[in-house]
Chains A and B, each alone.
Chain A
Amino acid sequence: MLLEVVDLAVDLPTPHGPRRVVREISFFASAGESLGIVGESGSGKTMTALALMGLLPDGAVVSGRLRFEGRNLAELGEAEMQKLRGDRIAMIFQEPMSALNPLHRIGAQVAEPLILHRGLSKAAAWTEAVRLLDRVQLRDPAGMARAYPFALSGGERQRAMIAMALSCRPRLIIADETTTALDVTVQAKILDLLASLSGEEDMAMLLVSHDLAVIARHCRRVLVMYGGAVMEEGPVAAVLGEARHPYTRALLEARPRLGAPRGTRLRAIAGAAPSASEAPSGCPFAGRCPFTIEACRLEPPPPVTVAEDHLVRCIRVDELGRQT
């Protein structure tokens, strides 16, 4: 197993004391596998990704086990983490304009991890950078390498970011809302590219997004997060096709669909996600769920296996059945 996360919890310091933003989540990924984490803002999906990268904000407390290639990431020092980052684990961020340095040429930025982690000479790293830019299907890779970030379109920048992330052939690539800021036509092409490259290189891919449809198209397994906890997980076809958790179902029905009759009522989820000041002791979705009973608020719901490899954390999953 390439990546094994067991009971990962993250506490962030706030003026009112520590607040748990990730509540004991567990998942695993093997080489060549694509795993999606879907959730809204505040669901803890980005904090989970940052915990894997060792990039959590100052003062964050991590507990649980994060095993990557047999080592526990939580026990590694900053120097060792730095060796892993960009080499064995790479991350592609949401906003390529702030992740790229505006003062350095694209080629130099793609070459940098090769010089740092692989000890290549500048010239060799540049040649490799041009080859990588070609791999991510940028037109005129040699010219692109000499360009500065401002000269590239959003889609081109994101391709350059992917080239940079792939440079050292990482075993795990984390894409956090990588294409959210892009147009739909560009988004589809970039994610297809990322999926096919990670397949060719036998990397594990962790795709973090708020968009269920993006996950549906590009991942094999999915975790649905809400309020820091995993609500439902399993193969994409099962979780999206036969969603059993009230939150997953609500998410699926909340979006307008192409071709549906105009003005059809959307199933809005009443209320808003729990705010920073309140930390529910029971199910995080209890405050908004139409099926909440008293027991839901008492303690976090344990996972219930509803089908092979399909887990749901809802104490009423059996009585609610398949219908809503």
Chain B
Amino acid sequence: MSAPLLEVVDLEKTFLLARTRWFAPRPRRRAVAGVSFVVEAGRSFGIVGESGSGKSTVARAVMALLLPTSGEVRLEGRSLFALSRGELKAMRAHFQMIFQDPYGSLDPRQSVARIVAEPLANLAATSGAERDGRVAEALAAVGLDAASARKYPHEFSGGQRQRIAIARALITRPKLVVADEPVSALDVSIQAQVLNLMSDLQRDAGVTYLLISHDLAVVGHICEEIAVMFRGRFVETGPSDALLTAPAHPYTRELVDAAPKLGQAPLARPDPPPRAEATAGCPYAARCAFAQERCVGEAPALREIEGRRQVACHFPLAAAT
């Protein structure tokens, strides 16, 4: 069997923060505390979590935009951090990124043609004519006409700008596209255009996404597999349908319940009794409505449950509830 498209093994990233006073040791913050997952080609993978959960740090490590404290990122079996600069540049053709803010991620002084063609600079020499052809092809793939190539970003609306960003990501015909909150800066009516485009590309161009979002509905719409992240760890992973309809981890359940839904009264849920922040136990215990004695003393490890799912909880919720 060939190596999976993307393999992340025990990824850890600790940031050093500013000193609180002179000569004091710099405080550390573990943004990602040991995360492992595999993305198979054709099965898009979504990471859901709140702000500060470490999901964007994972995305940046996968893009080799930051060096993790420890752990491995392998793309088709090749470890990214063992590559030389030149090899990494050549590898970049296979994985591209879409950023959150289509206003900040496009250089306002470059024409769309230059913006979209930029990733080609990392590839072995492409002729001018070939480059123009690839630009037109990428723009067509995202539903923009060829005349757009001569325009500048300010001439486009938010949704169109995000299309330009996607065209730039696609121009190298990547196998993996890392998308960090690709629609959260867009209006609802525009979000739908971009999400439809993303599913089209999945089907027609064979793109696999690593999608990072706080929005369960967006991730569930695009991804076959979902991981729920909390304070630097995965607390639950599994196929998205099963995970969203019957969450096993109380935190996943909280996210599903809190997701705004139309025409549905909010679920009344008891506020958890105030507890001291557990240091040894489950990081979610202080917020968990189902926490028991054991949760405070002992941190649960991620373990397999039925249906190719994993959950880090001593008392996973029954599927029926």
The stretch of B169-177, B184-192, B302-310 that contacts the partner chain: B184-192
Measured between alpha carbons, how far is A267 from B188 in the docked complex, in Å?
A: 11
The one of B192, B203, B222, B223 in contact with A255, judged by C-beta atoms closer than 8 angstroms, is B192
Measured between alpha carbons, how far is A272 from B254 in the docked complex, in Å?
A: 35
Give the A-B contact count at a CB cut-off of 8 A: 116
Q: Tell me if A184 and B221 are in contact (CB < 8 A).
A: no
Check if B220 is an interface residue, CB within 8 A of chain A: yes
Q: With A183-B51, A250-B189 in contact, is A258–B195 under 8 Å at CB?
A: no
Check if B69 is an interface residue, CB within 8 A of chain A: no
Q: Tell me if A254 and B221 are in contact (CB < 8 A).
A: no
- The interface size of chain A toward B, counting residues with CB under 8 Å, comes to 43
Taking CB as reference atom, which chain B residue is nearest A236? Answer: B263
**Residues of A215-247 whose CB lies within 8 A of B:** 216-217, 237, 240-241
Measured between alpha carbons, how far is A246 from B20 in the docked complex, in Å?
A: 56
**Residues of B233-255 whose CB lies within 8 A of A:** 240-241, 244-245, 254-255
Main secondary structure of the interface of B (DSSP, over half): helix
Q: Tell me if B192 and A267 are in contact (CB < 8 A).
A: yes
Check if A185 is an interface residue, CB within 8 A of chain B: yes
Measured between alpha carbons, how far is A302 from B217 in the docked complex, in Å?
A: 36
Task: Give the Cβ gap from A305 to chain B, nearest Cβ, in Å.
Answer: 23
Check if A17 is an interface residue, CB within 8 A of chain B: no
Taking CB as reference atom, which chain B residue is nearest A264? Answer: B221
Q: Tell me if B262 and A184 are in contact (CB < 8 A).
A: no
The one of B216, B224, B274 in contact with A258, judged by C-beta atoms closer than 8 angstroms, is B216
Interface-centre pick from B157, B158, B220 (highest chain A CB count, 10 A)? B220
Check if B73 is an interface residue, CB within 8 A of chain A: no
Show the binding face of B for A, using Cβ within 8 Å: 50-51, 157-160, 187-193, 195-196, 199, 202-203, 214-218, 220-224, 240-241, 244-245, 254-256, 258-263, 266, 274
Provide 12 A-B residue pairs closer than 8 Å at the C-beta atoms, listed in order of the A residue.
A40-B188, A184-B255, A184-B259, A188-B260, A212-B262, A237-B263, A241-B263, A254-B191, A258-B220, A260-B220, A266-B192, A272-B190
Q: Enumerate the 8 nearest inter-chain pairs by beta-carbon distance, A residue then B residue, closest first.
A: A213-B260, A272-B157, A256-B221, A269-B189, A266-B192, A254-B192, A268-B192, A40-B187
